[in-house]
Structure 1
Protein backbone atom coordinates (compact mmCIF):
# COMPACT_ATOMS: atom_id res chain seq x y z
CA UNK A 1 0.00 0.00 0.00
CA UNK A 2 1.35 3.41 -1.00
CA UNK A 3 0.79 6.79 0.59
CA UNK A 4 0.10 9.92 -1.48
CA UNK A 5 3.84 10.65 -1.47
CA UNK A 6 4.56 7.28 -3.02
CA UNK A 7 6.10 5.66 0.06
CA UNK A 8 4.78 2.34 1.29
CA UNK A 9 3.14 1.64 4.62
CA UNK A 10 4.78 -0.98 6.79
CA UNK A 11 2.06 -3.62 6.90
CA UNK A 12 3.69 -5.28 9.90
CA UNK A 13 3.38 -2.20 12.04
CA UNK A 14 -0.07 -1.33 10.74
CA UNK A 15 -1.30 -4.83 11.52
CA UNK A 16 0.29 -4.72 14.96
CA UNK A 17 -1.33 -1.35 15.68
CA UNK A 18 -4.72 -2.77 14.72
CA UNK A 19 -4.17 -5.81 16.93
CA UNK A 20 -3.19 -3.61 19.87
CA UNK A 21 -6.28 -1.46 19.32
CA UNK A 22 -8.38 -4.61 19.43
CA UNK A 23 -6.68 -5.87 22.56
CA UNK A 24 -7.14 -2.54 24.30
CA UNK A 25 -10.79 -2.39 23.26
CA UNK A 26 -11.48 -5.96 24.44
CA UNK A 27 -9.80 -5.49 27.81
CA UNK A 28 -10.95 -1.89 28.34
CA UNK A 29 -12.92 -2.77 31.48
CA UNK A 30 -10.29 -5.14 32.84
CA UNK A 31 -8.35 -4.15 35.98
CA UNK A 32 -5.18 -5.02 34.06
CA UNK A 33 -5.37 -1.79 32.06
CA UNK A 34 -6.27 0.42 35.03
CA UNK A 35 -2.76 1.93 35.28
CA UNK A 36 -2.85 2.80 31.57
CA UNK A 37 -6.18 4.56 31.98
CA UNK A 38 -4.79 6.61 34.85
CA UNK A 39 -1.72 7.44 32.77
CA UNK A 40 -3.86 8.80 29.93
CA UNK A 41 -6.00 10.73 32.44
CA UNK A 42 -2.78 12.28 33.78
CA UNK A 43 -1.78 13.24 30.24
CA UNK A 44 -5.24 14.75 29.78
CA UNK A 45 -4.95 16.84 32.95
CA UNK A 46 -1.39 17.82 32.06
CA UNK A 47 -2.75 19.18 28.78
CA UNK A 48 -5.03 21.48 30.76
CA UNK A 49 -2.12 22.52 32.98
CA UNK A 50 0.25 23.32 30.12
CA UNK A 51 -2.43 25.26 28.25
CA UNK A 52 -3.20 27.24 31.40
CA UNK A 53 0.46 28.18 31.86
CA UNK A 54 0.92 29.07 28.19
CA UNK A 55 -2.18 31.28 28.29
CA UNK A 56 -0.93 33.18 31.34
CA UNK A 57 -2.87 31.41 34.08
CA UNK A 58 -1.58 29.57 37.13
CA UNK A 59 -1.93 25.90 38.03
CA UNK A 60 -2.82 25.07 41.61
CA UNK A 61 -2.83 21.26 41.61
CA UNK A 62 -3.66 18.14 39.64
CA UNK A 63 -5.46 15.21 41.25
CA UNK A 64 -6.13 11.67 40.10
CA UNK A 65 -8.57 9.25 41.69
CA UNK A 66 -8.74 5.47 41.76
CA UNK A 67 -12.06 5.62 39.88
CA UNK A 68 -10.10 6.91 36.83
CA UNK A 69 -11.25 10.51 37.19
CA UNK A 70 -8.96 13.51 37.33
CA UNK A 71 -8.98 17.26 37.81
CA UNK A 72 -6.72 20.20 37.11
CA UNK A 73 -7.44 23.07 39.49
CA UNK A 74 -6.11 26.35 38.16
CA UNK A 75 -6.56 30.10 38.01
CA UNK A 76 -7.78 30.49 34.46
CA UNK A 77 -6.48 33.23 32.17
CA UNK A 78 -8.85 36.04 31.26
CA UNK A 79 -10.60 36.06 27.92
CA UNK A 80 -13.06 33.59 26.44
CA UNK A 81 -10.72 32.29 23.73
CA UNK A 82 -7.97 31.56 26.26
CA UNK A 83 -10.42 29.67 28.44
CA UNK A 84 -11.75 27.71 25.45
CA UNK A 85 -8.16 26.73 24.67
CA UNK A 86 -7.58 25.58 28.26
CA UNK A 87 -10.79 23.55 28.42
CA UNK A 88 -10.08 22.01 25.02
CA UNK A 89 -6.47 21.11 25.78
CA UNK A 90 -7.43 18.00 27.71
CA UNK A 91 -9.25 16.50 24.74
CA UNK A 92 -6.47 17.07 22.24
CA UNK A 93 -3.51 16.87 24.61
CA UNK A 94 -3.66 13.11 25.00
CA UNK A 95 -4.16 12.68 21.24
CA UNK A 96 -1.13 14.85 20.49
CA UNK A 97 0.90 12.88 23.03
CA UNK A 98 0.00 9.62 21.27
CA UNK A 99 0.64 11.13 17.85
CA UNK A 100 4.10 12.42 18.76
CA UNK A 101 4.82 9.10 20.45
CA UNK A 102 4.30 7.35 17.12
CA UNK A 103 6.23 9.96 15.17
CA UNK A 104 9.26 10.08 17.47
CA UNK A 105 9.44 6.29 17.79
CA UNK A 106 8.98 5.12 14.23
CA UNK A 107 9.85 8.13 12.08
CA UNK A 108 12.76 9.62 13.97
CA UNK A 109 13.99 6.53 15.87
CA UNK A 110 13.84 8.29 19.24
CA UNK A 111 12.15 5.36 20.93
CA UNK A 112 14.10 5.49 24.21
CA UNK A 113 14.21 9.26 24.36
CA UNK A 114 10.41 9.27 24.19
CA UNK A 115 10.16 7.11 27.30
CA UNK A 116 12.81 9.16 29.10
CA UNK A 117 10.88 12.35 28.29
CA UNK A 118 7.65 10.77 29.55
CA UNK A 119 9.45 9.64 32.71
CA UNK A 120 10.81 13.12 33.43
CA UNK A 121 7.54 14.82 32.50
CA UNK A 122 5.53 12.68 34.90
CA UNK A 123 8.04 13.19 37.69
CA UNK A 124 8.06 16.98 37.22
CA UNK A 125 4.26 17.20 37.08
CA UNK A 126 4.00 15.04 40.17
CA UNK A 127 6.49 17.05 42.20
CA UNK A 128 5.15 20.46 41.14
CA UNK A 129 1.41 19.89 40.95
CA UNK A 130 0.28 16.63 42.59
CA UNK A 131 -2.57 17.55 44.88
CA UNK A 132 -2.53 14.44 47.06
CA UNK A 133 -0.45 11.44 47.99
CA UNK A 134 -2.18 9.10 45.54
CA UNK A 135 -1.46 11.37 42.58
CA UNK A 136 2.17 11.86 43.62
CA UNK A 137 2.67 8.12 44.17
CA UNK A 138 1.16 7.29 40.78
CA UNK A 139 3.27 9.86 38.95
CA UNK A 140 6.51 8.83 40.60
CA UNK A 141 5.80 5.09 40.35
CA UNK A 142 4.85 5.29 36.68
CA UNK A 143 7.86 7.51 35.97
CA UNK A 144 10.07 4.83 37.51
CA UNK A 145 8.50 2.09 35.39
CA UNK A 146 8.93 4.10 32.18
CA UNK A 147 12.50 4.97 33.09
CA UNK A 148 13.36 1.32 33.71
CA UNK A 149 11.67 0.35 30.44
CA UNK A 150 13.75 2.93 28.57
CA UNK A 151 16.94 1.56 30.08
CA UNK A 152 16.42 -2.19 30.03
CA UNK A 153 13.90 -3.16 27.34
CA UNK A 154 15.31 -4.21 23.97
CA UNK A 155 14.54 -1.99 21.00
CA UNK A 156 11.64 -4.19 19.91
CA UNK A 157 10.17 -4.09 23.39
CA UNK A 158 10.37 -0.29 23.50
CA UNK A 159 8.71 -0.08 20.07
CA UNK A 160 5.94 -2.40 21.23
CA UNK A 161 5.37 -0.43 24.42
CA UNK A 162 5.27 2.90 22.61
CA UNK A 163 2.91 1.55 19.97
CA UNK A 164 0.58 0.16 22.62
CA UNK A 165 0.56 3.46 24.52
CA UNK A 166 -0.29 5.28 21.29
CA UNK A 167 -3.08 2.79 20.53
CA UNK A 168 -4.46 3.16 24.04
CA UNK A 169 -4.48 6.93 23.66
CA UNK A 170 -6.63 6.59 20.54
CA UNK A 171 -9.04 4.36 22.42
CA UNK A 172 -9.22 6.90 25.22
CA UNK A 173 -10.44 9.54 22.77
CA UNK A 174 -13.10 7.18 21.45
CA UNK A 175 -14.34 6.10 24.88
CA UNK A 176 -14.29 9.66 26.19
CA UNK A 177 -16.60 10.64 23.34
CA UNK A 178 -18.93 7.78 24.27
CA UNK A 179 -19.02 8.87 27.91
CA UNK A 180 -19.54 12.54 27.12
CA UNK A 181 -22.40 11.76 24.74
CA UNK A 182 -24.27 8.99 26.53
CA UNK A 183 -23.31 9.02 30.22
CA UNK A 184 -25.37 11.73 31.92
CA UNK A 185 -23.29 11.78 35.10
CA UNK A 186 -20.04 12.12 33.17
CA UNK A 187 -21.44 14.58 30.64
CA UNK A 188 -22.57 17.02 33.34
CA UNK A 189 -19.03 17.49 34.68
CA UNK A 190 -17.02 17.00 31.48
CA UNK A 191 -14.82 19.49 29.67
CA UNK A 192 -17.50 19.59 26.98
CA UNK A 193 -20.00 20.77 29.58
CA UNK A 194 -17.62 23.52 30.72
CA UNK A 195 -17.17 24.60 27.10
CA UNK A 196 -20.93 24.63 26.63
CA UNK A 197 -21.32 26.90 29.66
CA UNK A 198 -18.75 29.26 28.17
CA UNK A 199 -20.05 29.31 24.59
CA UNK A 200 -23.33 28.88 22.69
CA UNK A 201 -22.12 25.50 21.38
CA UNK A 202 -23.75 22.49 23.12
CA UNK A 203 -21.65 19.95 24.99
CA UNK A 204 -22.34 17.11 22.55
CA UNK A 205 -20.98 19.25 19.70
CA UNK A 206 -17.79 20.07 21.60
CA UNK A 207 -17.30 16.41 22.54
CA UNK A 208 -17.82 15.32 18.93
CA UNK A 209 -15.56 18.05 17.53
CA UNK A 210 -12.56 17.44 19.77
CA UNK A 211 -12.85 13.67 19.67
CA UNK A 212 -12.96 13.84 15.86
CA UNK A 213 -9.96 16.19 15.79
CA UNK A 214 -8.09 13.87 18.16
CA UNK A 215 -8.75 10.79 16.07
CA UNK A 216 -7.86 12.59 12.83
CA UNK A 217 -4.57 13.77 14.35
CA UNK A 218 -3.74 10.26 15.48
CA UNK A 219 -4.64 8.86 12.07
CA UNK A 220 -2.51 11.36 10.17
CA UNK A 221 0.50 10.92 12.44
CA UNK A 222 0.11 7.14 12.34
CA UNK A 223 0.04 7.22 8.52
CA UNK A 224 3.21 9.30 8.47
CA UNK A 225 4.93 7.29 11.18
CA UNK A 226 4.16 3.81 9.87
CA UNK A 227 5.61 4.23 6.41
CA UNK A 228 7.92 1.41 5.53
CA UNK A 229 11.56 1.81 6.51
CA UNK A 230 14.26 -0.49 7.66
CA UNK A 231 12.63 -1.73 10.87
CA UNK A 232 15.40 -1.66 13.42
CA UNK A 233 13.26 -2.23 16.50
CA UNK A 234 10.42 -4.59 15.70
CA UNK A 235 12.72 -6.53 13.43
CA UNK A 236 10.32 -7.34 10.61
CA UNK A 237 8.20 -5.89 7.85
CA UNK A 238 5.43 -7.47 5.86
CA UNK A 239 5.88 -5.16 2.89
CA UNK A 240 7.32 -6.56 -0.30
CA UNK A 241 8.94 -5.26 -3.45
CA UNK A 242 12.15 -3.47 -4.29
CA UNK A 243 13.53 -0.73 -2.04
Structure 2
Protein backbone atom coordinates (compact mmCIF):
# COMPACT_ATOMS: atom_id res chain seq x y z
CA UNK A 1 0.00 0.00 0.00
CA UNK A 2 1.35 3.42 -0.94
CA UNK A 3 2.13 5.92 1.82
CA UNK A 4 1.81 8.93 -0.49
CA UNK A 5 -1.41 10.24 1.16
CA UNK A 6 0.14 10.12 4.63
CA UNK A 7 3.32 11.93 3.62
CA UNK A 8 1.43 14.52 1.62
CA UNK A 9 -0.81 15.08 4.65
CA UNK A 10 2.29 15.65 6.80
CA UNK A 11 3.64 18.15 4.29
CA UNK A 12 0.29 19.97 4.07
CA UNK A 13 -0.05 20.04 7.87
CA UNK A 14 3.37 21.62 8.22
CA UNK A 15 2.54 24.25 5.60
CA UNK A 16 -0.74 25.17 7.30
CA UNK A 17 0.91 25.24 10.74
CA UNK A 18 3.67 27.55 9.53
CA UNK A 19 1.14 29.87 7.90
CA UNK A 20 -0.98 29.95 11.07
CA UNK A 21 2.01 30.90 13.25
CA UNK A 22 3.77 33.02 10.61
CA UNK A 23 3.80 36.16 12.75
CA UNK A 24 4.54 34.42 16.06
CA UNK A 25 7.72 35.32 17.90
CA UNK A 26 9.01 31.73 17.78
CA UNK A 27 8.65 31.67 13.99
CA UNK A 28 10.86 34.75 13.73
CA UNK A 29 13.91 32.64 14.63
CA UNK A 30 13.00 30.24 11.84
CA UNK A 31 12.64 33.15 9.42
CA UNK A 32 16.11 34.44 10.27
CA UNK A 33 17.47 30.97 9.59
CA UNK A 34 15.78 30.85 6.17
CA UNK A 35 17.07 34.35 5.36
CA UNK A 36 20.55 33.05 6.13
CA UNK A 37 20.00 30.17 3.69
CA UNK A 38 18.84 32.75 1.14
CA UNK A 39 22.06 34.75 1.54
CA UNK A 40 24.19 31.60 1.45
CA UNK A 41 22.61 30.75 -1.91
CA UNK A 42 23.67 34.17 -3.22
CA UNK A 43 27.20 33.56 -1.96
CA UNK A 44 27.35 30.05 -3.40
CA UNK A 45 26.25 31.28 -6.83
CA UNK A 46 28.90 33.99 -6.73
CA UNK A 47 31.62 31.47 -5.89
CA UNK A 48 30.49 28.97 -8.53
CA UNK A 49 30.46 31.63 -11.24
CA UNK A 50 33.99 32.73 -10.40
CA UNK A 51 33.15 35.70 -8.16
CA UNK A 52 34.39 36.67 -4.72
CA UNK A 53 32.34 36.67 -1.51
CA UNK A 54 33.37 39.25 1.07
CA UNK A 55 30.72 38.68 3.71
CA UNK A 56 27.20 37.65 4.74
CA UNK A 57 25.10 39.68 7.17
CA UNK A 58 21.61 39.57 8.70
CA UNK A 59 19.82 42.76 9.75
CA UNK A 60 17.35 41.27 12.25
CA UNK A 61 14.22 42.40 10.37
CA UNK A 62 14.00 39.39 8.07
CA UNK A 63 16.51 41.11 5.83
CA UNK A 64 20.00 40.11 4.87
CA UNK A 65 22.90 41.11 2.71
CA UNK A 66 25.56 39.29 0.76
CA UNK A 67 28.57 41.37 -0.15
CA UNK A 68 30.07 39.80 -3.25
CA UNK A 69 31.82 40.69 -6.47
CA UNK A 70 30.34 38.69 -9.36
CA UNK A 71 32.46 37.40 -12.20
CA UNK A 72 33.15 39.61 -15.19
CA UNK A 73 30.77 37.95 -17.66
CA UNK A 74 27.40 39.71 -17.93
CA UNK A 75 25.15 36.80 -17.02
CA UNK A 76 26.90 36.22 -13.68
CA UNK A 77 25.03 39.10 -12.02
CA UNK A 78 21.67 37.64 -13.08
CA UNK A 79 22.65 34.22 -11.74
CA UNK A 80 23.87 35.56 -8.40
CA UNK A 81 20.78 37.75 -7.81
CA UNK A 82 18.38 34.98 -8.88
CA UNK A 83 20.10 32.40 -6.69
CA UNK A 84 18.51 33.71 -3.49
CA UNK A 85 14.94 32.54 -4.09
CA UNK A 86 15.62 29.86 -6.67
CA UNK A 87 18.46 28.45 -4.57
CA UNK A 88 16.25 28.34 -1.48
CA UNK A 89 13.71 26.34 -3.46
CA UNK A 90 16.43 23.90 -4.52
CA UNK A 91 17.69 23.52 -0.94
CA UNK A 92 14.15 23.08 0.38
CA UNK A 93 13.29 20.57 -2.35
CA UNK A 94 16.45 18.53 -1.75
CA UNK A 95 15.83 18.41 2.00
CA UNK A 96 12.21 17.38 1.41
CA UNK A 97 13.32 14.63 -0.94
CA UNK A 98 15.92 13.36 1.53
CA UNK A 99 13.33 13.35 4.30
CA UNK A 100 10.53 11.67 2.37
CA UNK A 101 12.79 9.05 0.79
CA UNK A 102 14.18 8.17 4.22
CA UNK A 103 17.60 7.30 2.85
CA UNK A 104 20.77 8.62 4.51
CA UNK A 105 18.72 11.07 6.59
CA UNK A 106 21.25 11.27 9.41
CA UNK A 107 24.19 11.77 7.09
CA UNK A 108 22.33 14.47 5.14
CA UNK A 109 21.40 16.36 8.30
CA UNK A 110 24.92 16.14 9.74
CA UNK A 111 26.50 17.38 6.49
CA UNK A 112 23.96 20.22 6.33
CA UNK A 113 24.82 21.26 9.89
CA UNK A 114 28.55 21.17 9.19
CA UNK A 115 28.00 23.22 6.03
CA UNK A 116 26.13 25.94 7.97
CA UNK A 117 28.85 26.13 10.60
CA UNK A 118 31.62 26.32 7.99
CA UNK A 119 29.94 29.08 5.96
CA UNK A 120 29.17 31.10 9.09
CA UNK A 121 32.77 30.93 10.26
CA UNK A 122 34.20 31.78 6.83
CA UNK A 123 31.88 34.53 5.63
CA UNK A 124 30.18 36.18 8.62
CA UNK A 125 31.73 38.36 11.27
CA UNK A 126 32.25 37.05 14.77
CA UNK A 127 29.57 38.34 17.14
CA UNK A 128 27.09 39.42 14.48
CA UNK A 129 23.60 37.99 13.97
CA UNK A 130 24.53 35.97 10.88
CA UNK A 131 27.39 34.34 12.78
CA UNK A 132 25.28 33.34 15.79
CA UNK A 133 22.36 32.22 13.61
CA UNK A 134 24.54 29.96 11.48
CA UNK A 135 26.48 28.52 14.41
CA UNK A 136 23.45 27.85 16.65
CA UNK A 137 21.31 26.36 13.90
CA UNK A 138 24.26 24.38 12.55
CA UNK A 139 25.11 22.90 15.94
CA UNK A 140 21.43 22.16 16.62
CA UNK A 141 21.01 20.39 13.27
CA UNK A 142 24.24 18.50 13.87
CA UNK A 143 23.05 17.26 17.28
CA UNK A 144 19.65 16.21 15.93
CA UNK A 145 21.38 14.25 13.17
CA UNK A 146 23.26 12.27 15.81
CA UNK A 147 20.11 11.33 17.75
CA UNK A 148 18.67 8.86 15.27
CA UNK A 149 17.19 8.18 11.86
CA UNK A 150 13.53 8.85 12.68
CA UNK A 151 14.04 12.30 14.18
CA UNK A 152 16.43 13.13 11.32
CA UNK A 153 13.74 12.30 8.76
CA UNK A 154 11.18 14.51 10.54
CA UNK A 155 13.72 17.33 10.83
CA UNK A 156 14.57 17.18 7.13
CA UNK A 157 10.89 17.35 6.17
CA UNK A 158 10.32 20.27 8.56
CA UNK A 159 13.35 22.23 7.37
CA UNK A 160 12.61 21.53 3.71
CA UNK A 161 9.00 22.65 4.10
CA UNK A 162 9.98 25.81 5.99
CA UNK A 163 12.65 26.87 3.49
CA UNK A 164 10.42 26.10 0.50
CA UNK A 165 7.42 27.98 1.91
CA UNK A 166 9.40 31.07 2.88
CA UNK A 167 11.20 31.22 -0.45
CA UNK A 168 7.81 31.57 -2.17
CA UNK A 169 6.04 33.69 0.44
CA UNK A 170 8.77 36.31 0.67
CA UNK A 171 8.46 37.07 -3.04
CA UNK A 172 4.92 38.41 -2.52
CA UNK A 173 5.92 41.52 -0.55
CA UNK A 174 8.69 42.81 -2.79
CA UNK A 175 6.51 45.67 -4.11
CA UNK A 176 6.56 47.36 -0.69
CA UNK A 177 10.35 47.61 -0.77
CA UNK A 178 11.18 47.34 -4.44
CA UNK A 179 14.60 48.97 -4.29
CA UNK A 180 15.73 46.61 -1.49
CA UNK A 181 14.39 43.36 -2.95
CA UNK A 182 16.24 41.00 -5.26
CA UNK A 183 13.58 41.37 -7.96
CA UNK A 184 13.81 45.16 -7.72
CA UNK A 185 17.60 45.17 -7.80
CA UNK A 186 17.61 43.00 -10.91
CA UNK A 187 14.88 45.14 -12.51
CA UNK A 188 16.88 48.34 -11.92
CA UNK A 189 20.02 46.68 -13.29
CA UNK A 190 18.26 45.43 -16.42
CA UNK A 191 16.88 48.95 -17.00
CA UNK A 192 20.39 50.41 -16.71
CA UNK A 193 19.56 52.21 -13.43
CA UNK A 194 20.68 51.94 -9.83
CA UNK A 195 18.29 51.78 -6.86
CA UNK A 196 20.26 54.57 -5.20
CA UNK A 197 19.45 56.92 -8.08
CA UNK A 198 15.72 56.91 -7.50
CA UNK A 199 13.38 57.16 -4.54
CA UNK A 200 10.55 54.63 -4.15
CA UNK A 201 8.09 57.31 -5.31
CA UNK A 202 9.94 57.86 -8.60
CA UNK A 203 10.18 54.24 -9.74
CA UNK A 204 9.61 54.13 -13.52
CA UNK A 205 6.75 51.99 -14.72
CA UNK A 206 9.16 49.93 -16.83
CA UNK A 207 11.19 49.01 -13.73
CA UNK A 208 8.02 48.21 -11.78
CA UNK A 209 6.79 45.98 -14.60
CA UNK A 210 10.14 44.21 -14.79
CA UNK A 211 10.12 43.72 -11.03
CA UNK A 212 6.69 42.08 -11.10
CA UNK A 213 7.69 39.96 -14.08
CA UNK A 214 10.90 38.77 -12.44
CA UNK A 215 9.14 38.00 -9.15
CA UNK A 216 6.42 36.07 -10.98
CA UNK A 217 8.96 34.05 -12.96
CA UNK A 218 10.91 33.25 -9.80
CA UNK A 219 7.70 32.21 -8.04
CA UNK A 220 6.67 29.87 -10.86
CA UNK A 221 10.16 28.40 -11.04
CA UNK A 222 10.34 27.94 -7.27
CA UNK A 223 6.93 26.26 -7.14
CA UNK A 224 7.90 24.00 -10.04
CA UNK A 225 11.16 22.98 -8.34
CA UNK A 226 9.41 22.13 -5.08
CA UNK A 227 6.64 20.15 -6.80
CA UNK A 228 9.22 18.26 -8.87
CA UNK A 229 11.24 17.18 -5.83
CA UNK A 230 8.13 16.36 -3.83
CA UNK A 231 6.59 14.20 -6.55
CA UNK A 232 9.83 12.48 -7.50
CA UNK A 233 10.68 11.60 -3.89
CA UNK A 234 7.24 10.14 -3.18
CA UNK A 235 7.16 8.23 -6.48
CA UNK A 236 10.66 6.86 -6.02
CA UNK A 237 9.91 5.76 -2.47
CA UNK A 238 6.74 3.98 -3.53
CA UNK A 239 8.57 2.04 -6.26
CA UNK A 240 11.30 1.12 -3.85
CA UNK A 241 8.85 -0.26 -1.30
CA UNK A 242 7.00 -2.25 -4.00
CA UNK A 243 10.22 -3.83 -5.26
CA UNK A 244 11.32 -4.70 -1.74
CA UNK A 245 7.97 -6.31 -1.01
CA UNK A 246 8.17 -8.32 -4.23
CA UNK A 247 11.67 -9.52 -3.41
CA UNK A 248 10.59 -10.39 0.13
CA UNK A 249 7.61 -12.35 -1.18
CA UNK A 250 9.83 -14.27 -3.63
CA UNK A 251 12.30 -15.05 -0.84
CA UNK A 252 9.54 -16.33 1.44
CA UNK A 253 8.16 -18.61 -1.30
CA UNK A 254 11.56 -20.09 -2.17
CA UNK A 255 12.45 -22.87 -1.69
CA UNK A 256 10.01 -24.31 0.86
CA UNK A 257 6.62 -22.88 -0.08
CA UNK A 258 4.91 -23.95 -3.26
CA UNK A 259 1.93 -22.45 -4.96
CA UNK A 260 -1.36 -24.47 -4.85
CA UNK A 261 -1.04 -25.17 -8.58
CA UNK A 262 2.44 -26.65 -8.10
CA UNK A 263 1.23 -28.85 -5.25
CA UNK A 264 -1.61 -30.24 -7.38
CA UNK A 265 0.80 -30.86 -10.26
CA UNK A 266 3.16 -32.85 -7.99
CA UNK A 267 0.35 -34.83 -6.38
CA UNK A 268 -0.98 -35.90 -9.77
CA UNK A 269 2.45 -37.31 -10.56
CA UNK A 270 2.74 -39.21 -7.31
CA UNK A 271 5.09 -36.87 -5.44
CA UNK A 272 4.48 -35.57 -1.95
CA UNK A 273 4.74 -31.73 -2.28
CA UNK A 274 5.89 -31.36 1.34
CA UNK A 275 8.68 -33.93 1.51
CA UNK A 276 9.39 -34.58 -2.16
CA UNK A 277 9.04 -38.36 -1.63
CA UNK A 278 7.45 -40.44 -4.36
CA UNK A 279 4.08 -41.76 -3.15
CA UNK A 280 3.39 -45.49 -3.68
CA UNK A 281 0.40 -46.16 -5.93
CA UNK A 282 -1.54 -47.93 -3.14
CA UNK A 283 -1.20 -45.05 -0.65
CA UNK A 284 -4.28 -42.93 -0.12
CA UNK A 285 -4.64 -39.64 1.68
CA UNK A 286 -7.89 -38.47 3.16
CA UNK A 287 -11.09 -40.44 2.75
CA UNK A 288 -10.80 -43.76 0.90
CA UNK A 289 -12.80 -44.13 -2.30
CA UNK A 290 -16.31 -45.54 -1.97
CA UNK A 291 -17.22 -48.83 -3.56
CA UNK A 292 -19.73 -48.54 -6.37
- The counterpart of 1:151, out of the listed 146, 153, 170, is 146
TM-score using structure 1 length: 0.85
Higher mean displacement: 194-203 or 139-148? 194-203
> Which string of whole-angstrom CA distances, capped at 9 and with x for unpartnered residues, describes residues 99-120 of structure 1?
1112223336021112111111
**215, 219, 226: which is aligned to 1:211?**
219
CA drift of 1:15 comes to 0.5
Unaligned 5+ segments in structure 1 are: 2-7, 233-243
Matches within 5 A, 1:32-181: 32-107=26-101, 109-131=103-125, 133=127, 134-152=129-147, 154-181=148-175
Which digits, 9 at most, give the CA deviation of each residue in 1:130-158, with x for residues without a partner? 03522211111111100110011x43322
2: CA distance, partners of 1:136 / 1:58: 19
Distance 1:141 1:130 in 2: 13
Q: Helix, strand or coil: the match of 1:19? A: helix
1:188 aligns with 2:216: no
Unpaired runs of 5+ residues, structure 2, are: 192-206, 242-292
Residue 205 (structure 2) pairs with residue 197 (structure 1): no
* Distance in 2 of aligned mates of 1:210 and 1:119: 27
> Is the Cα–Cα contact under 8 Å of residues 170 and 218 in structure 1 kept in the other structure?
yes
- After superposition, give the CA deviation of every residue in 1:160-183 in whole Å (9 maximum; x if it has no partner): 2211111112221232121114xx
CA distance in 2, matches of 1:170, 1:25: 12
Number of the residue aligned with 2:280: none
Deviation of 1:199 (Å):
1.7
Higher relative contact order (CA 8 A, sep 6+): 1
* Equivalent residue in structure 2 for 1:221, among 211, 225, 229: 229
- CA distance in 2: counterparts of 1:166 and 1:138, whole angstroms: 18
Contact 1:49 1:72 (C-alpha < 8 Å) held by counterparts: yes
For this pair of structures, how many residues does the alignment match? 223
CA contact (8 A) 1:44 1:94 kept: yes
- Verify the 8 A CA contact 1:45 1:70 in the aligned structure 2: yes
Q: Taking structure 1 as reference, are residues 192 and 79 closer, same or farther at Cα in structure 2, changes over 3 Å only?
A: same
Write the distance in 1 (CA, Å) between the matches of 2:190 and 2:8: 39
1:76-111 per-residue CA deviation (whole Å, 9 max, x = no partner) reads 222321110011011111100011112223336021
Residues 54 and 67 in structure 2, CA contact (< 8 A), matched pair in contact too: yes
